Amino acid sequence: MATMKAAVIYEAGGPEMLKVETRPIPKPEKGQVLIRVKAFGLNRSEMFTRQGMSPNVKFPRVLGIEAVGLVEEAPGNEFKKGEMVATAMGGIGRVFDGGYAEYTCPPATQVQAIQTEIPWETFGAIPEMLQTAYGSLFRSLLLKKGDHLLIRGGTTSVGLAAAAIAKNHGAQVSATSRRADRAEMMHASGVDHVFIDKGEIATDVRKKFPEGVDKVLELVGVTTLGDSMKVVKDGGIVCMTGMVGNKWALDNFSPMDFIPTAVGLTTYAGDSQDFVNTPLEEMAQQIKAGTLHVQIGKVFHLDDIVEAHRTMEENKAGGKIVVLT
- Predicted confidence (pLDDT) at residue 247 exceeds the cutoff of 80: no
pLDDT at 322: 98
> pLDDT-based confidence at 11, cuts 50/70/90?
very high
Task: For helices 126-135 and 157-168, give the axis angle rounded to 10 degrees.
Answer: 60
Percent of the chain with pLDDT strictly greater than 90: 94
pLDDT at 1: 83
Residue type, 201: I
Distance of CA 47 to the CA centre of its chain: 13
Contact of 218 with 238, CB cutoff 8 Å: yes
Percent of the chain with pLDDT strictly greater than 70: 99
Question: Residue 37: in which H helix or E strand, if any?
Answer: strand 34-41
DSSP string, 43-68: -HHHHHHHTT--TTPPSSEE--SEEE
User: Mean pLDDT across the stretch 233-262?
Assistant: 89
pTM reported for the whole predicted model: 0.94
> pLDDT-based confidence at 130, cuts 50/70/90?
very high
- Predicted confidence (pLDDT) at residue 112 exceeds the cutoff of 80: yes
User: Mean pLDDT across the stretch 3-7?
Assistant: 98
